[in-house]
Structure formats: structure tokens, C-alpha cells
Structure 1
Amino acid sequence: MAAPTPPSPAARPVWESWYQGVPTVPNQWAPYSSQGRSAWLRLALQARRPRRPDLSGGVHHLDGRFVTDVPGLHCAMGEALAGPGGYFGWGWDAFRDCLCGGFGLTAPFTLVWHDADIARQAPAAAVFASDGLLSYVEEIVQILEDAGVTVVLA
């Protein structure tokens, strides 16, 4: 059996944070670099709570103040839909999979995305969708709406 690979220098502080337990405070992922945020998402996936029946309905709030890159968008989305340290995908395909159920929440529900303009102005906004017409943020909004989620950009 091979020894586990130690975390990268960017991931080490994230691992140390999670070693204390699953986060209970919002935005603990925010100070990390894109690499650290990616490590956060991997740990959030591994720490997913036991399966329970999916809920639907309600209003969920995404704190967009720190959505400055793609991993940050997914950290904020996981937190908005599954609580601090929550996971709800790490990219388009995983995000779509989560919307299909098995991750605690299914449509219909409402997502109020606070400070959405920050994500639109961030470098993540320059990443184009597979069709080349939408920004990453617009693509995520379209995926949500296609799944039956009401998105309010505030």
C-alpha cells in the first residue's frame, strides 16, 4: 500500500482547517487561493454528510462577496445549498449531477445570489461555456434555471 500523498503547500492550510472538523462558519474558504479553494472542494466532497432524502423548496442565499474564481463559485454554491463546508459540485458536470439529486437538495427552490456582479467582473467571468456564448456565471445561472431553480441576482 502506497503512503498517502501529502497536500500541496497551497492545500496544507485548508487541510489543517478541516482537521479541526467540518466547517461550521460561513466563508472559511474565502481567504484561500484558487488552489486552496480547489482543495476545499475535494475535502467537502469527501466529508459529505450521510445521505438523506433530498429536500426541495425554500430560499437559499449565496454570499457572492468572495466569488472571484471558479473554485470560489463552487465553494459559495456548496455553502449556500448545503451549509458551511457543504458540497454541491466543483465544475459544470459535477454541479449538474448534484442538481439531479442525492446531494440533499433538488429543485424547485429559489437561490438569491447576493453580490452577483463580483463574479461577473472576476477573471472567472472570462471563462466561456462549452458553446462559447456565455460566461461561466451565466452558464451556471442557465443550468440552475433549466433545472427548475428560480435565481435572483441581487
Structure 2
Amino acid sequence: MDGLFKPKTDPAPVPMELIGCEPAEPLLAALRRPRPRERDWASLLVLDRHGAVMASRTVGLAITGARPSVLGGTLVDIALTDGGDDRPSPAARPIWEQWYQGAPAEPNMWAPYDSQGRAAWLDLTTRAWRVPVRRPDQLGGEHHLDGRFATDVPGLHCAIAEALLGPGSYFGREWNAFRDCLRGGFGVAPPFTLVWHHSDVARHALADVVEDPQGQLSYFEDIVQLLERRGVTVVLR
């Protein structure tokens, strides 16, 4: 068995350059340290063209160098040893460019994308969801799910989140995360009624997608049963 199990090699860190940083505390304190500290962290807030926060992410402040910024003034450009491994993929660029114009205001703006693009859309909703303060859960009421474009798992979760919380919202990106959201703390909690329009689209498209460990339920059936177990009245139309 020698050589069968080998420790996985960590990927090499990918540097990141922050351009146009304002030299204020605690950034100045980090720059003054003779050695970088792994415990120093910073939150990067991504702003849209209107100056509103559209996403957030955390990076380690292991600084390898700093110089006067190419933008001039008193700003500085900072090089980080590692920019993290959760950078948006090339497939996400169109989605980020769309959100840069402003937060999604209309439903189904994710629908024209393929499965990879829809997954990138969901990823951005998770980043955007961390920015605002959580509001109290809404209980009861009737929500309408537009199921016309729920042709894959990412599309289904985009549609569910929009039905419950509106365009650009987060309410889980796969089965386990969706189950966690139904426990409360994400803006809406059972009991409520979900009217699922065009439900046959997801029923047929996800017939061969199985999350159930026993393989007895399709993804569509599993989601419906999960909703009902958590106290949601599901009306399929």
C-alpha cells in the first residue's frame, strides 16, 4: 500500500495587487510590521457603478510590498502574498459585469445563462447576501415561483430565491444549503405557501438528478418533500 495514499499538495498561492488603497489605520499598522502576520485579515467590498456594495470577500493581509499608487495622490498599491482561492471564474465575468450596472431589479435575469453561468449567479448572491444586515424572518403569506426556467439545479435555486425574497437574493445554492435556509434566519421561514407555476419544467428537467442517498427521489421530488416536511404548503401548477 506504500504510495497509495499521498498527502495532497496545496496549490501555490496566487498573489493579488490592491491598487489605490487609502493609507489609514489599521492598514498602516500592517505596513509597519517587519513581518507579515497570518492573522491579519481585510474585507474587500466590491462596489457597483452607483457606489453600492454588490459583494464582499475576505483576504489575508500577508503584504509583500507597497509603493505609491499608480492612481497618484497619497494612495498606495499593495501586493499580497496570496489573494485566496475563491476568485470569480472567467465564466462569472458577464454576471459580475451585469451586477456592476446595479443590483438585479427584475426577475429571471439569470435565465439566459447556461448552468455554469447560473451557478456563478448563485455564487454572487452568496457574496451579496453577506453584506446587508439580516432582516427578521417573514412568516406566513403566499409566494409565487416562476418555474419556466428551472431547467437545472442552479436555475431552480435562482427561481426559489426570487420567489421568496426577490431578484438577486440568496436562499441556498444546493440541497443542503437550501435545507439550512428553511430553518430560519435568511429572511423567510415556514410556515408559508409556495405556489409553483410551470412545475412540470423542473419535474421533467431534473428527473434524472438525484440527491436522495437511497436514489428513490428525483431532485425535484426531494425539494418538494423537504419543503413540505418543513411546514411549507406547496401548490404545484
Classify the TM-score, shorter chain: over 0.9
TM-score, normalised relative to structure 2: 0.62
2:53 aligns with none
Cα drift, residue 6 of structure 1: 5.5
Say yes or no: does 1:83 pair with 2:175.
no
Q: Which residue of 2 aligns with 1:111?
A: 194
Amino acid at match of 1:101: G
Partner residue of 2:178? 95
Once residues 32 and 125 of structure 1 are traced to their aligned partners in structure 2, the CA distance between those partners, rounded to angstroms, is: 21
Moved segments of 4+, more than 6 Å: none
Higher radius of gyration, 1 or 2: 2
Q: Which runs of 5+ in 2 are unaligned?
A: 1-79
RMSD: 1.4
Say if 1:113 and 1:151, in contact at 8 Å, map to a contact too: yes
Match of 1:121 among 204, 214, 220: 204
2:125 is matched with 44
For each residue in 1:12-71, what CA deviation from the matched residue of structure 2 results, as whole angstroms up to 9, or x when unmatched?
111111112221100000001111111111111111242011111110011000000000
Contact persistence 1:10–1:33 (CA under 8 A): no
Tell me which amino acid in the other structure corresponds to 1:73: L
The one-letter amino acid of 2:207's match is: A
Q: One-letter code of the match for 2:177?
A: A
Q: Scaled by the length of structure 1, what TM-score is found?
A: 0.94
Q: Which runs of 5+ in 1 are unaligned?
A: none
AA of the residue aligned to 1:36: G
Q: Which amino acid aligns with 2:122?
A: L
Matched AA of 1:110: T
Percent identity over paired residues: 65
Partner SS state of residue 91, structure 2: coil
Q: Residues 129-144 of structure 1: matches in 2 within 5 Å?
A: 129-144=212-227
Aligned residue pairs total 153
Quote the Cα distance in structure 1 between the aligned partners of 2:97 and 2:213.
Answer: 36
